Amino acid sequence: MINPVGSDSLKPLYVADDATRAALIEEARDLPSVEISSAAAANAVMLGGGYFSPLAGYMNLADALGCARDMHTTDGRFFPVPILNLVESVDALAGAERIALRDPNVDGSPVIAIQQVESIETVSDEQMALMTDKVYRTLDEEHPGVAAFHGHGRIAISGPIQVLNYSYFETDFPDTFRTAVQIRGEIEQRGWQRVVAFQTRNPMHLAHEELCHMAMDRLNCDGLVIHMLLGKLKPGDIPADVRDDAIRTMVRLYFPENSAMVTGYGFDMLYAGPREAVLHAYFRQNMGASHFIIGRDHAGVGDYYGAFDAQEIFDTEVPAGALGIEIFRADHTAWSNKLGRVVMMREAPDHSKEDFVLLSGTRVREMLSEGIAPPKEFSRPEVAEILIKYYQSL
């Protein structure tokens, strides 16, 4: 199996020993505490599960700026985006060396982690602009990722953390949420060596399904990990439980036994296009995937990124040798009426647009809301049935 990034083994920050974790939970009762942002809580979940290994916690400002500029920390370690704990105020921390981090996404804001405070720094307007521009390629506050990043506060608390729980992900999605450690374990148990990962924040239509089959066949992979985002999305996106049901139904009916795993991870979407694609590749390598599918406008939103920017960044900005995972570069896939099957559009140069079955997202949502299933060339009927039920419940 492929090694984690920059190491022979994962370094998860979740405190797995029950007695040690119980002692830390008790310690947290007497520590100064701060409620962190949803993004910082999601980063704690990713750090806890080994996805961001070998990071030991939240970055200081110098490391964050380095990762934004050229994807390296000050000591030369590769990481594609800043991982920060940004807060509005540290008045309640009173110079504490250890603090409790409270989760904003769970009722009562329980402690999700304990942080050793190494530095507290104020982020200037210029530094915030630099990180925003490099990671999101825009300063536009209408960009949902930019708006979220700018809403976290300007005080960065850096230092290693000890993670005490996985927020709401483990309890709300017990059959789907998995850590990088757990996914590696299951890949090993299944005996897979070549593994391709597919990222999704949406239900999978026929074109997505066939793209996964195509990648598995061309890469000669033993298995597929469908890795679903379970964290916060933008308004209008389909809830995780509905996506989960739709994807599991598709896998059960249309994938051979022991060929696909349906899993999920706890993270708030950045919508950062190319930079987020690199982050996705980073933590897919950590979870044990040897290959990763990146398609048109991966992790994008609106018109902020070019169709294939998320593929090209691996040629133009990711340092050689920084990642071991290989990228499967996909084009838009659609049903060809000429060929009677799903194809990548770039591989059908003799086709015109009218030769494909293409439906806009708006049109699909309208159809589902009206109780009309999209054509079988676009969506599996069993998947459409689940989505119709959801849209008609709104």
pLDDT tens-digit map of 52-110: 999 999 999 999 999 999 999 999 999 999 999 999 999 999 889 999 999 999 999 99
- The angle subtended at Cα 285 by Cα 282 and Cα 286, nearest 5°, is 90
Q: Mark whether 329 is an active-site residue.
A: no
* Neighbour count for residue 374 (Cβ, 10 Å): 21
What is the pLDDT at residue 194?
97
pLDDT of residue 27: 98
- List, in order of start, the domains of the chain with CATH numbers: 18-170 (3.10.400.10), 175-393 (3.40.50.620)
Whether residue 365 lies in the annotated active site: no
* pTM summary value: 0.94
Partners of 113 in beta bridges: 101, 163
For CA atoms 244, 249, 255, 256, the dihedral sign is: positive
134: left (phi over 0), alpha (psi -120 to 50) or beta: alpha
Q: Which of 201, 248, 329, 365 is catalytic?
A: 201
For residue 249, CA distances in Å to 87, 171, 194, 230, 242 come to 41, 21, 24, 18, 11
Low-confidence stretches of the chain (pLDDT beneath 50): none
Spell out the residues 6+ positions from residue 358 whose beta carbon is closer than 8 angstroms to its own: 334
The pLDDT of residue 241:
86
* One-letter amino acid of 195: V
**What is the sign, positive or negative, of the torsion defined by CA atoms of 110, 236, 278, 221?**
positive
Pick the catalytic residue: 202, 248, 329, 365?
202
In this structure, what are the phi and psi dihedrals at residue 227, rounded to the nearest 5 degrees? -115, 105
> What's the residue count for the chain?
394
Can you give the pLDDT at residue 277?
Answer: 98
Q: What confidence score (pLDDT) does residue 233 get?
A: 66
